[in-house]
Structure 1
Amino acid sequence: MYFQFLVINTKNFMIFQLQNYLQIFAFSTDFDWDFDALCIVFQSLLCNALKCSTASRLRAFVQEFGHNIFSTDGTVLFCKICNVKVTAEKRFAVQQHLSRDKHINGLERSKLQNEKNNTQSFITDVPNKSEYFLDLTRTFLSCNIPLNKLENPAFSKFLEKYTNKQTPDRSTLRKNYVSICYDETIQMIRSYVENKKLWVSIDETTDANGRYVANVIIDTLEVGNIEVLEKTNHSTIAKVLDKSLSILWPQGIIHDNVLLFLSDAAPYMVKAATSIQTYYSKMIHVTCLAHALHRVAEEIRIHFPNVDELINNVKKVFLKAPSRIQIFKTMAPDIPLPPRPVLTRWGTWLNASMYYCDHFELIKEIINQLDGEDAVAVSKAQNLFSNVILKHNLIYIKANFSTLATSITQLETSGVPLIDSINIIQKIKAEIQKAPNQIGKIIYQKLSTTLNKNKGFKIISDISDILNGQGTINEIPDDLIANDLAFFKYSPITSVDVERSFSIYKNLLADNRRSFLFENLKQALVVQCNIFELQPYKKFDSVENWVCVKVPVFRHFFCFSRFFLKLLENVYFFPL
């Protein structure tokens, strides 16, 4: 029984050799000596068999889970992803390692790196270019970091220490790599916008160098453009639009894909829209509704000059006056300092008037504590607070027009469905209509006149009714087909994104960067804007999963947000 047990437990190892030894034992007469020898033989055979079994088991794991995951030298199992030895006595231990977060994350990084290496570049004519230099350039441009920072010795040594690569000269990147990033982005944009519907928004301003600049925003395809104008009139605006769209479609503009044109209500903008609608037959021109409400707010300001004067003088009282600010914080620690409205910023004057209505007595007490002879603004503010009519006017403004400022803020939000945007306008119209006395009637008449001049607003309102299941398609222009109307579900009715684009443009033109050549400025902006993480619209229901993302972009180029380009996920970055 003992020998049978040994044979059974070693039959998978070296049965042939064992049987030979058993045959020798069968003819032996010295049982004790042969038994001891046989035990030694069994022990040796068993050890060799176990070694052979471990190596084969490890090789089996490598074969099962892949040579790209594990490797073995016959004694240990090594994970290539995690760079660690793995316990392999049981299959469960190997599976447990594979299920750990560290291994899963490492595997994802490995896949992304392989995909990046296997992806064909959009730019095929870039021989002998360093991928590290290209990624470094893209990162600097995306983060709005001037390339001259590479000349800082501390930063240069830091890069060389943690990347083991030579830090390039800024001129090398500017001459050889900035244009590559720009061309790469343009090509990707053109590929993405093919056969897509879109809307356009245009506005103009004057930059810090005195140039007339017109910004073009093209939405749903995350695209835009900027042009320098000799002057601003309807013909230059029309040319800017055509030039921007020709960059988008170099083989020929697809006019029927432009469904909506947003601008302010400047006469030359309206005239430009009328002229280009000859070529863009499906395009609806809507003047910005936030601008419209702001003009109504301006009408309110005109009819309450004493409130306007109070806001201006109290703002001056606490402007660059730390001692007065300290008095204010001591007497009113729980409320913020008086607001400083800017007339060109929508709704800020109305918000300021409501602030003074909410804290009238406390602000009056603080102003009266100040020395009237210290400044003219203090004296004027004290006189205004002594006027009883001022308080009545503040109450009237808040009671009848407080929703106007709220409505402007709501319209400034990105991604609002068209139905909700139209409801905001209808609601504020109903609220202002209820305002009593002659001033209320004048304000309501101003709102009605402004909306009636906006011919596109009537069409867009009818489309909203259809999307809400209430209107009829007979009220819509004949050029727009049913499929086109579905794309209006999240269409905006304000040009707020163009206004925001000017802020980004001016931020790049800082005082210490005025020597920026315009061509380099253009190429830097395209990469920088590509990395902005702006809030996207919701997806369109059953309309090609269309996604609207509002992103500003500038002169001769286009910019994307996270929906299309995630540059930081693909660039080389130095480990700390």
Structure 2
Amino acid sequence: MPKVAQSFSGKLRSWIALYNIKEELFTTNGKVQELEKTNHTTVARFINDNLKQLFGEYHFEDKLLLMTSDAVPYMAKVFKSLEIFYSNIIYVTGIVHGLNRIAEKVRELCLAVNILINNRKKMFLKASTRVDVYRSITNARLLPNPVATKWGTWLQAAIFYSDNFVKFKVVMQNLEEDAASVTKVKALLSETAIVKELALIKSYIKLFPDVMEALETRGMTLKDQLEKLSFVEEKLKIIPRKEEKVLQQKFENISRDYLICCDMGVNLSRPGTGRKRYTTESDDRFIVSKSLRNRRLIAVQVQRKLREVRGVNISQWKVKRRLQESNLTPKDTATGPKLTPVHRQTRLSFARDHLNLTLEQWGNALFSDETRICLYGSVHA
């Protein structure tokens, strides 16, 4: 094996070693498996063999429900090969990839903005005088430089130009140099095409970087993801210019995965699939109103009133949950420390020793917790 392949294999083993302490994950015999060729046949065989080894004799074929991967063509062929053995499996590609393809299409449509962004590096690289002029006028951070391998950075740069277009135009007017990049950008800023393109990006595409970043975040619920995607769909539907209808067609290409996720979300949140709710909306309003009228009522007392007035018998824990659903804090009975037999014996001996004390003797007593005790009248007098 070549030296480069060996070093990569060792690096890969070091990455996996953190999760492969018992040599049971990712591998067959504690070693990293290397595929000689990466195509749909070898990948499908690799997945099928390792799933069988992972589950052993357990019949898991009907339990495998979801497969997700990048939107590369050979992975779609892998799914078709595995679909023969796993009948319930659903294939979903990364929806963020689809949004990134829409962003790339925006880059193709907005040629003037793309030229402006590409000339940014030529204008300000190793040009401290231009940087000083820019900062003195805009009082803002330096123009963003998009990264080719990072999603959304080109859009972020375009959005920055749309938000600071007037200031940037003033900066270019104050640059009296004859450099090719400066002359090209000045001529570009005088055209109406760049204004229209920046307005398009700011009005309809500005949300894309935030949505893509949110969809990459771990722990985000399916409901929140679908809401963000539906917001993107609504924005693309109202684009006025006919040539930008291409963006809607791009979104329709990823709509299959989007509709699958929507269908999954509907099934997950479908009403009537869980345990029947014991209280009606009227019962819930009764619980909340009783608690608001007397904030000293504990859950047991509210439970008792609900049973007496409305004939509904539920546990105190359900009462607490209904109050929490209305952003109210359920009250609990004030309880002191639990008395042990030693505590009881100590208190009894104290009472016997002080049973026959006179009023004068009690008047000289000082309690360590500064409790005020009145033998006659009220404590609050």
What TM bracket, shorter-length normalisation? Answer: 0.5 to 0.7
The count of residues paired between Structure 1 and Structure 2 equals 258
Residues in 2 aligned to 1:471 and 1:405: alpha-carbon distance in whole angstroms: 37
Q: Is the 8 A contact 1:290 1:346 kept in 2?
A: no
Counterpart of 2:170 in structure 1 is 365
Give the whole-Å Cα distance in 1 for the aligned partners of 2:32 and 2:240.
45
Aligned-residue offset at 1:415: 0.8
- C-alpha deviation, 1:421, in angstroms: 1.2
Corresponding residue for residue 339 of structure 1: 144
Deviation of 1:291 (Å): 0.5
Distance 1:183 1:347 in 2: 31
Cα distance in 2 for partners of 1:458, 1:316 equals 44
2:267 matched residue in structure 1: 466
Counterpart Cα distance in 2 of 1:322 and 1:250: 66
More displaced 10-residue stretch of structure 1: 378-387 or 253-262: 253-262
Question: In the alignment, which residue of structure 1 is the partner of 2:155?
Answer: 350
- In structure 2, the residue matched to 1:383 is 187
- Kindly indicate whether the alpha-carbon contact (under 8 Å) linking 2:68 and 2:91 is maintained by their aligned counterparts in 1: yes
User: How far apart in 2 are the matches of 1:364 and 1:327?
Assistant: 12
Query: What amino acid sits opposite 1:412 in the alignment?
Result: E
Distance 1:240 1:322, change over 3 A: farther
Picking from 322, 325, 331, the partner of 2:131 is: 325
AA aligned opposite 2:133: I
| Counterpart position of 2:90 | 284
How far apart, CA to CA, are the structure 2 residues paired with 1:312 and 1:184? Answer: 42
2:189 and 2:18 mapped to 1: Cα distance? 61
1:400 to 204, 208, 229: 204
What letter matches 2:261 in structure 1?
I
Q: Partners in 1 of 2:201 and 2:42 — Cα distance? A: 41
1:440 aligns with 2:244: yes
Structure 1 residues 251 and 318: alpha-carbon distance in aligned structure 2, compared to 1, 3 A threshold: farther
The structure 2 residue matched to 1:305, chosen from 111, 117, 126, is 111
Query: 1:286 aligns to what SS in structure 2?
Result: strand
Whose radius of gyration is greater, 1 or 2? Answer: 1
Q: Which amino acid aligns with 1:443?
A: L
Partner of 2:22: 187
Structure 1, unmatched stretches of 5+, are 1-173, 191-215, 217-224, 473-481, 483-576
Cα 1:470/1:380, change in 2 over 3 Å: farther
| Residues 95 and 254 in structure 2, CA contact (< 8 A), matched pair in contact too | no
CA distance in 2, matches of 1:260, 1:230: 27
**For the Cα contact (< 8 Å) 2:112–2:194, is it kept in 1?**
yes
Is the Cα contact below 8 Å between 1:234 and 1:272 reproduced in 2? yes
**Residues 1:273 and 2:108 are matched in the alignment:** no
Contact 1:264-1:288 at 8 Å conserved across structures: yes
Instruction: Quote the residue 2:224 is aligned against.
Output: 420
Structure 1 residue 323 displacement after superposition: 4.0
The 1-side partners of 2:108 and 2:194 are apart by: 14
Q: Does the Cα contact within 8 Å between 1:316 and 1:377 map onto a contact in 2?
A: yes
Inter-partner Cα distance in structure 2 for 1:382 and 1:184 = 55
What TM-score does the superposition give when structure 2 sets the normalisation length?
A: 0.59
Counterpart-to-counterpart distance in 1, 2:166 and 2:91: 47
Tell which has more relative contact order, 1 or 2 (C-alpha 8 A, sep 6+): 1
SS of the equivalent of 1:261 reads: strand
Percent identity, aligned pairs only, is 33
Tell me which amino acid in the other structure corresponds to 2:266. Answer: D
Change (3 A) 1:471 1:408: farther
| Alignment check: 8 A CA contact 1:292 1:451 kept | no
Deviates more, 1:255-264 or 1:291-300: 255-264
How many Å separate the matches in 2 of 1:311 and 1:249?
52
Q: Please say if 1:449 is aligned against 2:250.
A: no
One-letter amino acid of the structure 2 residue matched with residue 370 of structure 1: L
Preserved CA contact (<8 Å) 1:296 1:443: yes
Aligned to 1:511: none
CA contact (8 A) 1:293 1:447 kept: yes
TM-align CA RMSD: 3.4
Residues 113-141 of structure 1: per-residue CA shift (max 9 Å, x gap): xxxxxxxxxxxxxxxxxxxxxxxxxxxxx
Q: TM-score, normalised by structure 1?
A: 0.40
Q: What secondary structure does 1:300 align onto? A: helix
Contact 1:311 1:353 in 2 (8 A): yes
- Which of the pair is proportionally richer in strand? 1
Shift of 1:275: 0.8
Shift of 1:226: 7.6
Alpha-carbon separation, structure 1, partners of 2:94 and 2:224: 16
Alignment gaps of 5+ in structure 2: 1-9, 275-381
